[in-house]
Amino acid sequence: MSFSHSELDFLFAHPELITSAEQLTLSKKSMLADIATLRKTAGNHARALVEIVLARRAASKKMDPAVAHNWWADSDAVQQATPEGVAEWRAKHLASLGVGWVHDVTCSVGTELRILHAEGVDAVGSDVDVTRLRMAKRNVAPVGVFCADATRPATSAPVVVADPARRNSSGRISSLADVVPSVEDLLAAYPARTEFAIKCAPGIDFNDVREWAGMVDVVSVDRQVKEACVYTPGLMAGAGGGRFGPVVGDLSATACAAVGPGAEGGVFREGNKLLMRAVVLRAEAAPQIVTSTMDDNVGEGAPGKYIIDPDGAIVRAGLVRHYAAQHGLWQLDHRIAYLTGDVVPAGERGFRVLEEVPPKQLRGALAARGVGTLEILVRGVDVDPDVLRKKLKLKGAQQATVVLTRVGSAATAFICEVERG
């Protein structure tokens, strides 16, 4: 819930009360008692103390906890904020192209601005929400922020970063025409030479951006798909050395290699063909990039030793075949995202196939193996895993994974055990 101006004034003036509130549990069970405690010192501002503490706790899961501890935000702003690793990937990409000045036109409390500034990119931020701008000024003091409508250009920055609102009272918005501001309005408002990095829901239809976009990054963090970022052609990987100056930064070699041979120093774009990239971010691991320029010549075949479930970013970006070719895998069925092979890619989780059975025989096969704990993965068949688990009436001490999918015209169940690559 957002803060009023008077609540922000109170919080800015009383950091010691925030410190005291941080000592409280603030759980559903303790909330009434905790609020009663806070009212003794904060009166009607007790709600604001609860909000800032809960927002900071939530922020610590998206950003460096040391930064989150002093971060100014409400819970809605935190929920909408880009995870730190995703913002860092985008900032490094822009820096690698030589981008020196960026205007974040939906800056909220400054999450993206902090990362851009840390990467050495000059940035300025604006938003229509004045209370969030007040918090942004505290969060990113070295960066200028001001109130402005995203569809009314207020700077001459060559690059605009935007994160249109993807939620309303009805829930998530998947259509680019319905986000606020709409992508069409954003593009129309700025000079033709302006380049854009527009954050979108990863489930959008990428055919809707082909007329104006050059590249799409679909990014996941620890196997959870977080966002798609749509870039105009001048911000494609390998587009440095042009209007933004020479390619600089640690990402330049990676960015150019990711689009394939011959891309360095120029934009790789063929007609209205998008460069698609799946960016897989994992804790304590180098980013994994799969692109649409990679070989996708893979076939279908019988199950190998393992079944592989590609990262969601790879699936959403439509790069399952490219990933398979990269790792010597093949498809069980060309319509299904599951892959198979005799080796598990390094750092990935694979499912060693123990037995293949028709779904009607699954209960008996699991009972024979003494399986009591079961992970159920489903693609291409109309099965609810929770409903299926109840029907199986599992008993036993063993664990297993069932991969239920369609191969050809029939549904098939693979009983597996997990192995790490």
342 pLDDT higher than 70: yes
Tell me the domain boundaries of the chain: 5-71, 82-238+272-282, 294-420
Does residue 319 have a pLDDT over 60?
A: yes
CATH of 294-420, one of 1.20.120, 3.40.50, 1.10.287, 3.30.2130: 3.30.2130
pTM: 0.90
Question: 248 pLDDT exceeds 80?
Answer: no
- pLDDT tens-digit profile of 349-382? 999 999 999 999 999 999 999 999 999 999 999 9
Show contacts of 41-48: CB within 8 Å, 24+ apart: 41/17, 42/10, 42/14, 42/17, 45/7, 45/10, 45/11, 47/1, 47/7, 48/3, 48/7, 48/8, 48/10, 48/11
Quick one: pLDDT band at residue 271, thresholds 50, 70, 90? low
Task: List the CATH code of the domain at 82-238+272-282.
Answer: 3.40.50.150
Instruction: Work out whether strand 171-172 and strand 159-162 pair parallel, antiparallel, or are unpaired.
Output: unpaired
pLDDT of 253 higher than 60:
no
* Average pLDDT of the residues in 85-113: 97
What is the token pair recorded at 66?
A: 């040391």
Task: Please give the average per-residue pLDDT across 389-399, as a whole number.
Answer: 94
